[in-house]
Amino acid sequence: EATLDLAERRRIRSAIRELQRQELERDEETLASKRFRSERSSHRQDNKENWPQSRRLEEEQQAALAALSEQLEAITSVEELTKLLRAAGEYEERKLIRAAIRKLRAEEIEAATLAGNVQSSR
C-alpha cells in the first residue's frame, strides 16, 4: 500500500513479477498440453460417433453424382453445360460438369479435324 522504504518496495515489486512469471509459465504449459493432444484419437472418436450419419450422407451424394453423370452424358451442348456449371453449388458437381464440357470440346475439335482432313484430301 504505502511504504516509504525503497528496499521493501523493490522486494514487493520483484515478488509480484515472480508471481506473474509463474502464472505465465502455468498458462503456457496448459496451452502446450492442449495444443499437442493427439488429434487422431479425438478425430477417431468424432468419426465413430458420426459414422452412420456421414456414411448415409456420402452414399446419397454418390447416388446424386451418378444421376448427374448420366444426365450430363445426354447433353450435347456446351452452352447447356455451362448454364448447369454456373448453377451448380457443390465442388464435385462442378468437377463432373467441367469434365463433360472438356469431353464435348474435345469431340468438337476431333470432328473439325476430321472434316478438315476430308476437305484437304479432296
Please give the average per-residue pLDDT across 34-63, as a whole number. 68
Threshold 0.75, pTM exceeds:
no
Domain residue spans in the chain? 6-41, 56-121
Are 83 and 107 within 8 A, CB to CB?
A: no
- Is pLDDT above 60 for 111? yes
pLDDT band at 45 (very low <50, low <70, confident <90, very high): low
In this predicted structure, what is the pLDDT of residue 49?
A: 65
- Is pLDDT above 70 for 48? no
Element at 15 (helix H, strand E): helix 6-35
pLDDT band at 116 (very low <50, low <70, confident <90, very high): confident
Q: Which three cell numbers stand for residue 10?
A: 523493490
- Is pLDDT above 70 for 36? no
Instruction: Summarize pLDDT for 58-103 with one digit per residue, the tens.
Output: 888 888 888 888 888 888 888 999 998 999 888 888 988 899 999 9
Query: For residue 36, which amino acid is it?
Result: F
Alpha carbons 44 and 93: distance in angstroms, whole number: 28
Alpha carbons 107 and 113: distance in angstroms, whole number: 10
